[in-house]
């Protein structure tokens, strides 16, 4: 909790309100396709979902970046759509196109689904395996999709750039949308609690599609739902920090930070870190927010971007991260350069 010293885990210490110099660092999607060892394992094991539900493979993937880089957090290798899968939707991943969910919730009803919580069990086993293998100084992070973002996939059956189907449903039939979000919230709460029981030490809520909403919808679909989830999660797990990451929120971050009750806020790459340092509560830990493309570019552009973030957020609790997930084309040497620069302070 704020003010409590956590000397052996720098990332967890910052999430609890400490300022560390240099700041701890981890990278969203740090376990994945830019690593040759990941590509080799995927070729041997099969599809993405097969690996998510294979605890030995998922634990190995989670640990791979820790063997290469001096990073302070391990993020569970899984997917935000495990929640609708456990709620009874059919989940598949189409090569080159991404996830598919059926039946879509713009036509089907929750009553047509059969919940299967056992689909969470392999994820919990992955957490247990990673926890047993981690260096004690590394914080184990669990995660889930925030209710709005998960609902967009459930309604459209796949990712969509503007989330038009979900946004339209929220306007046209708010009762139906509320029922869906209620169910997602309850399932997500149980899922995160299971991750904590298995060993995660902090959780992140990914609201990847928060940026597509009008202010009224953002208040109702993002802030209110994340506030409920944070409050109920804290009743069960008062000592487990929550990172909220509402990508694309922009100026609405002020209300998000004030009203959701999360312990830290992740900034995407479009947010000016100097603005965030000025406008968001001084005690609030911030995470981010290097542009993933600056990491791809490397060189002077990378160094300049890193310096700007470090300088802007120097006076507050800060976890260095990207503004979104690391890209498949990222050179490993650039990641090494980034970590060396951050650790140098």
pLDDT in tens, 32-91: 999 999 999 999 988 899 999 999 999 999 999 999 999 999 999 999 999 999 999 999
Is residue 5 assigned to a domain?
no
pLDDT per position as a tens digit, 264-299:
999 999 999 999 999 999 999 999 999 999 999 999
Is residue 167 assigned to a domain?
yes
Torsion over CA of 84, 197, 122 and 11, rounded to 10 degrees?
A: 90
167 part of the active site: no
* Tokens representing residue 37 in the block: 């060892």
**Residues present in the chain in total:** 345
Give the residue numbers spanning the domain of 125.
10-344
Q: Report how many domains make up the chain.
A: 1
106 part of the active site: no
| For helices 55-68 and 332-344, angle between their N-to-C axes, nearest 10 degrees | 60
Catalytic: which of 16, 29, 220, 341? Answer: 29
Is residue 115 assigned to a domain?
yes
Task: Return the pLDDT at 160.
Answer: 84
Catalytic: which of 19, 20, 33, 337? Answer: 33
Mean pLDDT of 168-188: 97
Catalytic: which of 153, 207, 263, 268? Answer: 153
Is residue 320 assigned to a domain?
yes
Is residue 4 assigned to a domain?
no
> For position 157, which CATH number holds?
3.20.20.210
End-to-end CA distance of the chain: 25
Do the Cβ atoms of 102 and 90 come closer than 8 Å? yes
Is residue 1 assigned to a domain?
no
Do the Cβ atoms of 267 and 253 come closer than 8 Å? yes
79 part of the active site: yes
Query: Which are the contacts of 264, defined by CB distance < 8 A and separation ≥ 6?
Result: 14, 15, 241, 242, 243, 244, 284, 285, 286, 287, 317, 319
What whole-number distance in Å separates Cα of residue 268 and Cα of residue 261?
19
42 part of the active site: yes
Catalytic: which of 19, 20, 79, 308? Answer: 79
Collapsed DSSP state (helix, strand, coil) of residue 305: helix
311 part of the active site: no
Catalytic: which of 19, 42, 100, 337? Answer: 42
């Amino acid at each position: 909790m704020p003010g409590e010293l956590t000397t052996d885990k720098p990332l967890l210490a910052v999430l609890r309100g400490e300022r560390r110099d240099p700041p701890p660092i981890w990278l969203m999607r740090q376990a994945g396709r830019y690593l040759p060892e990941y590509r080799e394992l995927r070729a041997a094991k099969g599809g993405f979902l097969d690996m998510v539900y294979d605890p030995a493979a998922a634990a190995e993937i989670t640990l791979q970046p820790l063997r290469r880089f001096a990073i302070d957090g391990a993020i569970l290798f899984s997917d935000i759509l495990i929640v609708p899968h456990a709620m009874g939707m059919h989940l598949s991943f189409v090569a080159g196109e991404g996830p598919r969910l059926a039946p879509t919730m713009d036509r089907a009803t929750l009553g047509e689904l059969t919940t299967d919580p056992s689909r969470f069990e392999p994820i919990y086993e992955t957490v247990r395996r990673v926890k047993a293998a981690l260096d004690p100084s590394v914080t184990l992070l669990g995660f889930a999709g925030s209710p709005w973002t998960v609902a967009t996939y459930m309604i459209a059956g796949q990712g969509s750039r503007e989330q038009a189907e979900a946004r339209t449903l929220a306007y046209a039939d708010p009762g139906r949308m509320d029922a869906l979000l209620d169910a997602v919230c309850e399932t997500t709460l149980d899922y995160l609690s299971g991750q904590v029981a298995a060993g995660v030490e902090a959780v992140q809520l990914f609201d990847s599609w928060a940026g597509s909403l009008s202010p009224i919808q953002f208040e109702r679909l993002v802030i209110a739902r994340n506030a409920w989830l944070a409050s109920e999660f804290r009743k069960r797990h008062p000592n487990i920090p929550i990172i909220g990451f509402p990508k694309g929120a922009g100026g609405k971050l002020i209300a998000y930070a004030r009203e959701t009750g999360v312990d830290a806020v992740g900034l995407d790459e479009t947010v000016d870190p100097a603005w965030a340092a000025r406008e968001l509560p001084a005690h609030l830990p911030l995470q981010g927010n290097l542009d993933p493309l600056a990491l791809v570019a490397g060189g002077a552009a990378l160094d300049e971007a890193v310096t700007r973030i470090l300088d802007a957020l120097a006076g507050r609790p800060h976890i260095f991260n990207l503004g979104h997930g690391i890209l498949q084309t990222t050179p490993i040497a650039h990641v090494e350069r980034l970590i060396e620069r951050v650790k140098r302070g």
